[in-house]
Amino acid sequence: MSVRSSSTFAQIAIDGRYWKYDGRHALSLGGWNHSHNPFIDHDTDNDKDNKGVSTAAQIKKAMDELAAAGGNCLRCVLDPGMAAGIQGVDFCAKSGTQYDLNTMTGPFWTRLEMFIAEAKKRSIIVQIELWDRFDLIDGGWGSWPVSPWNPKNNIDHAIEDWWRSLLAGVAGVRFHRPTSGIGLYDTAKNCISATRKVESRVKFWDVEPRLDLLTNRQSDEAYLAADPGKAYILYFTKNGGGSVGLKLDGHSDATFELRWVDIGTGNWGPATTISGGSTVTMDRPNGSSHWVATIVR
């Protein structure tokens, strides 16, 4: 996303009851035929189902008409779920047929940047509303079944949030009900079962977050909670290469039992022993599932 560029924005302030735009008082006057994703579709006259996609030239022409009439304000409601699911304008990456909500990229953002930049050229203020509840429900647009926000259409970030929260030290976690969560689907039940298996070997209240003990870690690849020298819980997401170093340098006389749990199935995985005294390479068993390991002295 490059809409953060300072050259894209003007200085807006409040002076009493009125706005100031680039240091001058401004009376906000506006009108637009489509305020939901207006940088994608500028006109609903001939499109009552919000599926339209306008060209950049059409959007610029509509801005010219607004400016010519004396208008200087546009409402812009961000509905990325509708954009991707209904209008075919993605806002995030894909992994196969599933959306990856951790990677914000795609024409949604380049369209938005164009919209803001063209508005600035015409001294038009853009009012951006970041979240719209209609983008998260199966309302008249019918976008929820195909929306990237729908859990069935994206990579299981609910699982990642679950384990990141546990290793951060929260006292309890739960999955929200469908359709905005995975409730008690098999994925949720298996994750709960995996958590209890981990708890049978390491109590979560006996460890604390220790990312500093991991080396060669890619962003969002692995998370660690530990009581150094005694017990460790290591969680691997599906991201990254699935290999990190675990610092056991100060424990040269220690032997640790390593046991993996497949979060996707809730079952025990491989088991082995590792020795302290160095940084040990930890490789998740495979990249097809989320994995968590207990390392206990």
Domain limits, the chain: 6-153, 157-296
How many other β-carbons are positioned within 10 Å of the β-carbon of residue 27? 10
How do residues 76-99 score in pLDDT, each as one tens digit? Answer: 999 999 899 888 999 999 878 889
> What is the per-residue pLDDT for 43?
79
> What is the per-residue pLDDT for 2?
38
- Mean of pLDDT over the chain: 89
> What is the per-residue pLDDT for 154?
85
Q: Is the pLDDT of residue 106 over 60?
A: yes
> What is the per-residue pLDDT for 9?
59
Q: Is the pLDDT of residue 139 over 70?
A: no
> What is the per-residue pLDDT for 46?
60
Rounded Cα distance, 76 and 112, in Å = 9
**How far lies 153's CA from each of 14, 95, 119, 150, 237, in Å?**
42, 11, 34, 6, 18
Q: Which of 1-15, 172-186, 197-211 has the highest mean pLDDT?
A: 197-211
> What is the per-residue pLDDT for 77?
92
Task: Tell which wins on pLDDT, 239 or 246.
Answer: 246
Q: Is the pLDDT of residue 70 over 90?
A: yes
The proportion of the chain whose per-residue pLDDT surpasses 70, expressed as a percent, equals 91
How many other β-carbons are positioned within 10 Å of the β-carbon of residue 31? 12
Please state which of the ranges 76-80, 202-206, 260-264 shows the lowest mean pLDDT.
76-80
> What is the per-residue pLDDT for 59?
94
For 64-87, give one letter per residue: b (16+ CB within 10 A) or e. eebeeeebbbbebbbbbbbbbbbb
Q: Are strands 208-209 and 255-262 parallel, antiparallel or unpaired?
A: unpaired
Closest CA to 43 of 14, 22, 23, 63: 63
> What is the per-residue pLDDT for 50?
61
Q: Is the pLDDT of residue 14 over 80?
A: no
Q: Is the pLDDT of residue 141 over 80?
A: no
User: What is the pLDDT averaged over residues 163-171?
Assistant: 96
Is the pTM higher than 0.75? The answer reads no
